[in-house]
Chains A and B, each alone.
Chain A
């Protein structure tokens, strides 16, 4: 219980308070502590990738073992993960170094690094393609669902229409002051609403952070209630 619950709470509380205090003390010792904590965060962040890999492997292995619907896709995920990691570790992310490139001018990172090759010629086209499908879905959804059912919906619809037209050169071609109207919408009504939301969000972040530091908020520890 002490290791799983109390110790993490004490560590979170100590470092939370220590980081707040050090912010106001410009002493070299405070600076050294700050730099040390930053280094620790970077090191801990690197380990989260190991957890992500472990979690992915575990999830998809279970799916394959249980032969759940679409288990074949899990197999593809694991094979892709293995191959990418293999060529990444073996080939290096960006080999050869600039020194080698100077010696042999024909050496270019994109043409010689296997990982970069898979990135540019597999991942980039696949990810771009998937994201570009959004335009098709959005067009269909706008046609079917974007209706002026109420006053609020009508306002949203009109504003969206003006901004949509005004953000492309054709809008300016239709009416020369469209870009100014769009800038005005973004600079005033939009900003007022955004700022209100942001202030609310920031207050929420401060409140949650304080609750974590003081040990009131414990959900991040996991394990239910």
Chain B
């Protein structure tokens, strides 16, 4: 009974401390549990690997802000590297004002790292990759892109006319985009699915937060999206696929966080079990 009372009156700060410890310790002492690749992740990887021709175009939607970047940033980075390896052009687009910063951060980091490890195969802003300027009114923007992409944005986020950029060569509408992966933890994904895929047949994949992943299985089954990266695990699986094939020396942000996430999830389960044990003991004793 003493134990039950202790658990019931446990100060929440002890729980906070436990969470902090199980998140921090695995970063210092990584375990590196093995990981199976799930079919929705494999599907996106395979499509980029096999179905986009050299000099093809991959459109990446960065519709998220710093609150979900821990899960979505590693995905966007991994796909950018994958496109670089396959000599595919990358266009970033955002419907979020804050997504511009996210997109630019990915471009800076990936370009800098890629050019440092592949000096013989450099990638250039404006030639191999760019971020389209932010334009408000996301549904209208997605629809307008289906009619005329350069006329929708006019410029990239760095102030360059799209007509002058070689990365935009031959790109007029969604017909000229080989594949799009939308990264978001919000309902913007639905707008892309409904308007870009539904109306203009843009081939799409989804990258979303773990908590939102369950919402998009409908669209996988209906074929509106051919793959799904769900949360940090989805990103870690993609990183694994990438590192298995290529000699990638960069930091695998998602894989690094997997141990911490594993430990935190296990602690959650233990806390729930503990909470329920004390709940039933108390209930049993109150019933006597």
The answer to whether A187 and B217 touch across the interface, beta carbons within 8 angstroms, is: yes
- Write the B131-161 contact mask toward A (1 if CB under 8 angstroms, else 0): 0000111011101100110001000111110
Greatest chain B CB density within 10 A among A31, A39, A94, A173 is at A94
A61 at the binding interface (Cβ < 8 Å): no
| Contact flag A119-B35 (CB < 8 Å), given A109-B108, A165-B266, A168-B262 | no
**A92 / chain B contacts, CB cutoff of 8 Å:** 159
Which residue of chain B has the shortest Cβ distance to A97 in the bound complex? B159
Given A98-B126, A191-B218, the answer on whether A167 and B265 have CB atoms closer than 8 Å is yes
Pair B143/A38 contact, Cβ less than 8 Å: yes
Chain B: interface secondary structure?
A: helix
Q: Is A95 an interface residue when CB atoms closer than 8 A count as contact?
A: yes
Q: Is the beta-carbon distance between B141 and A42 smaller than 8 angstroms? A: yes
Question: Is the Cβ of B159 less than 8 Å from the Cβ of A130?
Answer: no
A46 touches B233 (CB 8 A): no
Report whether A146 and B272 are in contact in the complex, using a CB–CB cutoff of 8 Å: yes
A79 touches B (CB below 8 Å): no
Contact with B along A72-105 (1 / 0, CB 8 A): 0000000000000000000011111111010000
CB of A116 within 8 Å of the partner chain: yes
In the assembled complex, the Cα of A99 lies from the Cα of B279 at a distance in Å of: 66
Q: Is B24 an interface residue (CB 8 A)?
A: no
Is the CB of A169 closer than 8 A to any CB of chain B? yes
Query: What's the Cα separation between A147 and B282 when bound, in Å?
Result: 12
Which stretch in A5-13, A62-70, A133-141, A212-220 binds the other chain?
Answer: A133-141
By the criterion CB–CB under 8 Å, are A172 and B33 in contact? yes
**B105/A148 in contact, CB under 8 A:** no
**Min CB distance, B43 to chain A, in Å?**
12
Decide: B157 and A147 in contact? CB cutoff 8 A.
no
B218 touches A194 (CB 8 A): yes
For the A-B complex with A45-B137, A135-B264 known, give 8 more contacts whose Cβ atoms are closer than 8 Å.
A35-B144, A120-B101, A136-B20, A142-B275, A148-B276, A165-B269, A167-B233, A173-B33
Query: What are 10 A-B interface contacts by the 8 Å CB criterion?
Result: A45-B140, A101-B125, A109-B108, A116-B104, A124-B69, A135-B264, A139-B271, A165-B266, A168-B233, A176-B36
* Nearest 3 CB-CB pairings of A with B: A45-B137, A170-B262, A169-B33
